[in-house]
Structure formats: C-alpha cells, structure tokens
Amino acid sequence: MKLHSATLDRDNLSLMISAEIDFEHFEQFAEPLAAALDCSIGERQWGADRHQWLLDFEGSQLWLHYEFYGDICWISTKRADEFDVLEYLYGLLTPYVTPTK
C-alpha cells in the first residue's frame, strides 16, 4: 500500500488520504488500509460513484469514504472527542506515505 499523502482536518473531523485507488477494486486498497490501522471492517456500502465503509478502532466508529469523481478518500468521525483517534491513525499511516514528484 502506497499513499501519496495523509492530512488531518480538524474542522471536518477527518483524515484525508491521497493514493492511487481503483474504484472497481476498492477492497484492494481499503482492506490493507484497515489492517495497517488495526481497524475491523463493519458494513460496506457503495453506489454509482462512492464507497463508504464502517471501521471500528478500539470501540471508535469511523467511516472510510471514497468518491470516484473527485478522487477523494478520507476517514471521518462524527464525534469531536474522538479526533485524537484520527491523530493516532495518522501516525500509523506515516510509514506508507511516499510523496509524488
């Protein structure tokens, strides 16, 4: 798994992820990502241009999103008091980030 970047967005309670993601084979990206973050995968939802997976990290419910048309991927929480979980996961992603030139 190679990521181009990972960025925290406190205002939107999100961890933004830039990577090469194949929409048709999203699980080939998302499953290794969840494993690297030590998250279990709950429900998986998808539509014409979007994937949304429920992740669990030590009791924190997070959502992994990917929108095809915007080529945007992020992990979010709905609870401001769980932003520290996203900060921790950000640290776990650092070894996988290989910036593009």
pLDDT at 1: 73
pLDDT at 101: 61
pLDDT band of 48, cuts 50, 70, 90: confident
pLDDT at 2: 83
pLDDT band of 51, cuts 50, 70, 90: very high
Q: Which of 91, 66, 92, 85 is nearest to 13 (CA)?
A: 85
User: What's the rounded Cα separation, in Å, for the pair 7 and 29?
Assistant: 18
| Average pLDDT rounded to a whole number, residues 49-72 | 96
pLDDT value at 72 more than 90 = yes
Instruction: Count Cα atoms within 13 angstroms, Cβ side, for 75.
Output: 28
Cα-to-chain-centroid distance, residue 95: 15
